Amino acid sequence: PAPTPGFPLPTEHTQEAFDPASDFTSKWTRADASQIMAQSDTTVAPGQNSMSPDVTMPEIPEDFPTMNEDVWVWDTWSLTDEHANQISYKGYDVIFSLVADRHAGYNFDQRHWNARIGFFFRKTNADPAKDKWNYGGHLFVDGSSIGNTEWSGSTRLMQGNHVNVFYTATTFHDVAERNAGGGGIAPDAAIAKALGNIHANEERVWFDGFEHTKLLEPDGEMYQTKEQNPGFAFRDPFTFADPAHPGKTFMVFEGNTGGNRGEYQCTEEDLGYREGDANAESLDEVNSSGAYYQTGNVGLAVADNKDLTKWSFLPPILSANCVNDQTERPQIFIQNEDGKNKYYLYTISHQFTYAAGMRGPDGVYGFVGDGVRSDYQPVNNSGLALGSPTDLNLPANNPSGTISGQQNGRQFQAYSHYVQPNGLVQSFIDNVNGVRGGSLSPTVKINFKNGITQVDRSFGQNGLGPFGYLPTNVKVGGEGLY
Ligand code: FRU
């Protein structure tokens, strides 16, 4: 696209791949992220959506169905293999969701402090528009997981009927805080896994035999600890195999740059302006704005053994220093484009975690390169792949508050977008014009190639597919593939 007057040009990224063990960290720069505003329409009526329809999630109706009457449902993932294929097991589709009791006296925004991993199943040949997901209950026996709260992760089918559940073991120390929904002693966070078994018969799917192992805690060098910042993030493990490095298993996760909160200083690379760009900010300007408080990254780790019980940290593959504080639920999606494997890194982020001077919607962001570690090119030049309808000319409202003023009532309609095979994107409903969610969104579809993404509005009804549509693409019978 032609440059927008008044905005800096995005950083030049080569997409070149580096050894996963090397210390090259790609930057999502201020120059890149400022393309979000450069591409936003300044002339829309207040409260409309100012972003291109190509990067805007279609509007979710206010009268969306409730997926389950007993539990709120948010972050969700499928049973997969190491290539992010979604597995039908003995004729069932199986999904895992963070869940919290709807009737325990706390509200939807207090879900994080009460989160457990639950699971749902339905027959693979069910009609996704009509047949409900059956709730199977909590995945782990009460009190058996590491930590006292279970946050997001991913689940892989291993040999036979073994499954590995990678999850975030969050430990809150302060009961009052749990009940009040935050503000107390910072929680501990570890990445953990549980190895167990999946079973299925004519009636249902169930799990047993989970053995839990703690895998990783932040090191304070590459990945920030809670001592360094009570608001740190260390969570959301997603494991995968890389065809370029056969025999290895990698994990991406959400982290923050190591070091004490407030000590980081933005660098020229974090800004990423081209030489002589008349619209560039100066380093002093950016540092005096306090933008250095925002230090999100996407971490990488490699398994040291076949059982996936021992892992080593590698340097982050992406940093958002001085751009955004949270790059959550990262995933690697490998797609063959014209005979070449392209690596898409997708990660979700919020309006309220942007650094001073930066602005973008809640949604999913994407980056493409030639390897797991590469000089990632942000999709659409900005990084934004799919945002909730938002008027970026107006300030964001409080994420969990009622929508007030002129802002688009769908700015927090959905979150925790997860890109599935064929570009199907699932997410959960948060707030549609003040109607709170806690249920899965209609699945939407994005087409992406050459670093350009586009919402497919011919999919479903005006771009909205079935609610909670997480179809499987590989069938496994328990004894192997069929
Ligand atoms: C995203 C998220 C994840 C975390 C979970 C906690 O919605 O913030 O990063 O694991 O929610 O509820």
pLDDT, residue 396, reads 82
Instruction: Note the pLDDT of residue 431.
Output: 95
Query: Given ligand 1 and candidates 152, 172, 188, which is best to mutate, with the most ligand atoms within 8 Å of its CB?
Result: 152
- 3-state secondary structure labels for all residues of the chain: CCCCCCCCCCCCCCCCECCCCCCCCEECCHHHHHHHHHCCCCCCCCCCCCCCHHHECCCCCCCCCCCCCCEEEEEEEEEECCCCCEEEECCEEEEEEEEEECCCCCCHHHHHHHCEEEEEEEECCCCCCCCCCEEEEECCCCCCCCCCEEEEEEEEECCCCEEEEEEEEEECCCHHHHHHCCCCCCCEEEEEEEEEEEEECCCCEEEEEEEEEEEECCCCCCECCCCCCCCCCCEEEEEEECCCCCCCEEEEEEEEECCCCCCCCCCHHHHCCCCCCCCCCCHHHHHHCCHHHCEEEEEEEEECCCCCCCEEEEEEEEEEECCECCCEEEEEEEEEECCEEEEEEEEEECCCCECCCCCCCCEEEEEEECCCCECCEEHHHCCEEEECCCCCCCCCCCCCCCCCCCCCCCCCCEEEEEECHHHEEEEEEEEECCEEEEEECECEEEEEECCEEEECCCCCECCECCECCCCCCEEECCCCEC
pLDDT averaged per 10 residues in sequence order, the chain, 482 residues: 91 98 98 98 96 98 97 98 96 97 92 95 95 98 96 97 97 72 79 97 96 98 96 97 98 98 98 97 98 98 98 98 98 96 98 97 98 98 98 83 81 97 97 95 98 98 98 79 42
Q: Is 168 in the pocket of ligand 1 (CB under 6 A)?
A: yes
pLDDT of residue 427: 98
Q: Would you state the pLDDT for residue 481?
A: 43
> Can you tell me which atom of ligand 1 is nearest the CA of 254?
9
Q: How confident is the model at residue 482, as a pLDDT?
A: 40
* ipTM for the complex shown: 0.93
Nearest atom of ligand 1 to the alpha carbon of 98: 12
Annotated active-site residue 328? The verdict is yes
Decide whether any atom of ligand 1 lies within 6 Å of the 229 Cβ.
Answer: no
Mutation choice for ligand 1 from 108, 114, 236, 418, CB with most ligand atoms inside 8 A: 236
Q: Please state the atom number of ligand 1 nearest to the C-alpha of residue 151.
A: 10
